[in-house]
């Protein structure tokens, strides 16, 4: 298969090209970049610069739905979707796409490097609207997502306002993580934080103790500590810098059964623990300004 970034693939020994038809038996062959290095095997979709899988010697760091649907222009369920330039429903127009316009469009792979320690670095750029605004977002902007893939996942997101006026932004790296037993899972590191509960009309509540899962859970935690731990087997850590919010989600039994790309009982195998800036932590970028944030996903033990 030929793509605009094929020369980069050829120059980096860790990389290969494939598509969703070959890897996942999908009906449509959306381009994929495959990473095989001494530390991990990973799969990244060009659409949304979405890291779909990262398998290490200790196990997977991400969950991809066994019923994921691979249709161009539609969100893929699992991995790390990039929600940008808004997170969740648009604040003033519910007809606009959930989680922004960046996760369902192709990004450009601008650099690929095999690092000396065996890890792989990929740099993805989203610059379609640096000069002319998207019809559903009135500001011009650009974004860059750098991935360093090894025994852990290191992600760096840079958002730049290329407009001549202040630009409101909310964002999240919407990571899905595997769990061994949802009924026993706890998330620590959010104790005493305030959150907006999307299952109760965004009621503002304070977290008491660790987060536990008993039915649908959909919360935006604001002004949170840098690190949270998913207490499962093995334990997972999600650590961020310059990211004020943490979003925790699992659809629960009833909602999952009605979701074609999740399906009955598949919700038992994952939780979303996402880092970003949403709600109280929303950004307002001045003209020419940028916001840079980092997220690290690793095993805690």
What is the distance between the alpha carbons of residues 96 and 85, in angstroms, rounded to a whole number?
A: 12
Q: Give the model's pLDDT for residue 1.
A: 45
Q: Give the model's pLDDT for residue 22.
A: 96
Q: Give the model's pLDDT for residue 3.
A: 64
What is the distance between the alpha carbons of residues 251 and 100, in angstroms, rounded to a whole number?
A: 20
pLDDT, block means (10 residues), the chain with 301 residues = 70 93 94 98 98 98 97 96 95 87 96 97 97 96 98 98 98 98 97 97 97 97 98 97 98 97 96 98 98 98 79
Beta bridge pairs of residue 31 = 19
Cβ atoms within 10 Å, residue 28: 11
CATH code, 6-299:
2.70.98.10
In the chain, where the domains are located: 6-299
- 226 CB-contact burial (10 Å; exposed 0-12 / middle 13-18 / buried 19+): middle
Decide if 122 contacts 149 (C-beta within 8 A). Answer: yes
Decide if 134 contacts 163 (C-beta within 8 A). Answer: no
What is the distance between the alpha carbons of residues 176 and 297, in angstroms, rounded to a whole number?
A: 11
């Amino acid at each position: 298969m030929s793509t605009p970034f094929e020369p980069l693939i050829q120059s980096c020994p860790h990389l290969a090209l494939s598509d969703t038809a070959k890897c996942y038996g999908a009906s449509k062959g959306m381009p994929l970049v495959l990473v095989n290095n001494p530390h991990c095997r990973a799969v990244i979709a060009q659409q949304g610069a979405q890291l779909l899988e990262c398998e290490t010697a200790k196990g997977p760091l991400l969950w991809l739905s066994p019923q994921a649907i691979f249709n161009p222009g539609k969100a893929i369920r699992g991995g790390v979707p990039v929600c940008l330039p808004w997170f969740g429903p648009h604040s003033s127009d519910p007809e606009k796409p959930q989680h922004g316009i960046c996760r369902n469009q192709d990004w450009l792979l601008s650099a690929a490097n095999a690092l000396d320690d065996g890890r792989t670095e990929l740099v993805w750029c989203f610059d379609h609207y640096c000069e002319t605004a998207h019809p559903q977002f009135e500001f011009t902007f650009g974004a860059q997502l750098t991935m360093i893939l090894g025994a852990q996942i290191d992600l760096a997101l840079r958002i730049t306002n290329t407009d001549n006026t202040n630009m409101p932004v909310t964002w999240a790296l919407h990571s899905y993580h595997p769990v061994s037993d949802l009924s026993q899972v706890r998330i620590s590191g959010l104790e005493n934080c305030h959150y907006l509960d999307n299952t109760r009309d965004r009621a503002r509540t304070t977290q008491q103790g660790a987060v536990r899962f008993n039915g649908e859970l959909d919360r935006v935690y604001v002004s949170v500590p840098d690190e949270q731990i998913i207490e499962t087997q093995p334990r997972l850590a999600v650590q961020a810098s310059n990211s004020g919010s943490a979003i925790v989600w699992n659809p629960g039994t009833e909602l999952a059964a009605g979701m074609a790309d999740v399906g009955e009982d598949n919700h038992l195998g994952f939780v979303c623990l996402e880092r970003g800036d949403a709600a109280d932590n929303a950004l307002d970028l001045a003209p020419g300004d940028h916001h840079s944030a980092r997220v690290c996903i690793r095993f805690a033990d």
